[in-house]
Structure 1
Amino acid sequence: MRRRTLFESSPLGTLRREVDRLFHRFMPPASTGEMLRHPLEHIGCSWLHAYPPTNVWEDNGTLYLEAELPGMREDEIDVTISGHELVLKGTPKPEEMPEGATPLIRERDVPSFSRVIHLPVEIDQAKITATLENGILTLTMPKTESARSRQIKVRPVAGAV
């Protein structure tokens, strides 16, 4: 005897069945290891893993950016700024296998990337610093004097009661 669930005939049950159907349509059972390594590539989503995860924050005088770039070296990273646009590019050199070696599993290739990040304020471009430590790229970007917030004192009008 088939057991019925609470939502089987409700709109939520219909939604669940539709999501399951779509999932099985676009994510068929993997017959090769390639599907397990890059499950979204076969539906045109290889770009999902091509951007490094990034955090951007600010304090009164400075904007900061951290991007995860594991395994990359300084000479593989390009950072440029033009106006309010910061461009991060990375072109990792492929790992070479020893001569005569036949790769059995190769999962550590990192794709090249290019990412444009809009900066909300003017940056003093001459004072930007960039460091790479333990796979984390850190940019310190001082704001221009005009972009810094400042307190405006409110004064009474002379002669006003």
Structure 2
Amino acid sequence: MQIKDMLPWARKDLPAESRSDDDSPIASLQREMNRVFDSFWSGAGRPFGNLPAAFATGAPRTDVVETEDGVEVTVELPGMEEKDIEVTLTDEAVTIRGEKKIERKEEKKGYYVSERSYGTVFRTVPLPSGVDSDKAEAKFRNGVLSVHLPHSSEARAKVKKVAVKSA
């Protein structure tokens, strides 16, 4: 056997192997794992039935924005009413809790259906120092809770602008 026979590019009688990344066993395994996780998290077998996905995970979608006036916390609580929501405030954090109970009974000739779904959501948002908890306000409209936490007058007085100079 000559050296040129051992060089892979010199072999003309064998077809070149072509394997794209999609054909590799690792890529196939990754696709299968993605499919399994996607089907698991897509809501199949959710423990709280028809309640929104936020109730199943326990953490509602939340936006936190700090403005010049204070901190704005916005929480999505679809399907809830004011009576289902509790907002508590400490010096370090604001906690939003909601509990929804849905019961449905249907009875007609030949069958009887009774379904119950219970879900609890909560979210604790850490707060910066200088929030005036006595002036906090919470408003609920169309499934969205907005909590306004104004800065205290002492915190506003401590804010100073720093001049930026070129280096």
Is the structural similarity TM-score above 0.5?
yes
Q: Secondary structure at the match of 2:130?
A: coil
Report the counterpart of residue 159 of structure 2 in structure 1: 150
Residue of structure 2 in register with 1:133 after alignment: 141
1:91-110 counterparts in 2 under 5 A? Answer: 91-98=99-106, 101-102=112-113, 109=117
Which structure's residues are more often strand, by fraction? 2
DSSP 3-state at the match of 2:154: helix
> Is the counterpart of residue 120 in structure 1 residue 128 in structure 2?
yes
- Distance in 1, Cα, partners of 2:28 & 2:42: 27
Distance in 1, matches of 2:56 and 2:27, equals 25
Deviation at 1:121, TM superposition (A): 2.8
- Judged with a 3 Å threshold, the aligned counterparts in structure 2 of structure 1 residues 27 and 62 are, in CA distance, closer, same or farther, namely closer
User: Which structure 1 residue ranges, 5 or more long, are not aligned?
Assistant: 29-34, 155-161
User: What is the Cα deviation at residue 124 of structure 1?
Assistant: 0.8
Mapped to 2, the partners of 1:37 and 1:24 lie a distance apart of 10
AA partner of residue 44 (structure 2): P
Count of matched residue pairs:
136
* Change over 3 Å in CA distance of 1:129–1:36 after alignment to 2: closer
What is the letter of the counterpart of residue 16 of structure 1? A
- SS in structure 2 opposite 1:92? strand
Residues 1:20 and 2:26 aligned together: no
Describe the shift of the 1:51–1:36 C-alpha distance in structure 2 as closer, same or farther (beyond 3 A): closer
What one-letter code is carried by the residue in structure 1 that aligns with 2:28? R
CA distance in 1, matches of 2:118, 2:42: 12
TM-score by length of 2: 0.64
Aligned to 2:20: 6
Structure showing greater radius of gyration is 2
Structure-1 separation of matches of 2:79 and 2:55: 19
List structure 1 runs of 4+ shifted beyond 4 angstroms.
24-28, 98-101
SS at match of 2:68: coil
Q: Give the counterpart letter for 1:7 in structure 2.
A: D
- SS of the residue aligned with 1:94? strand
CA shift for structure 1 position 6: 2.7
Q: Unpaired segments of 5 or more residues in structure 2?
A: 1-17, 48-53
Identity %: 23
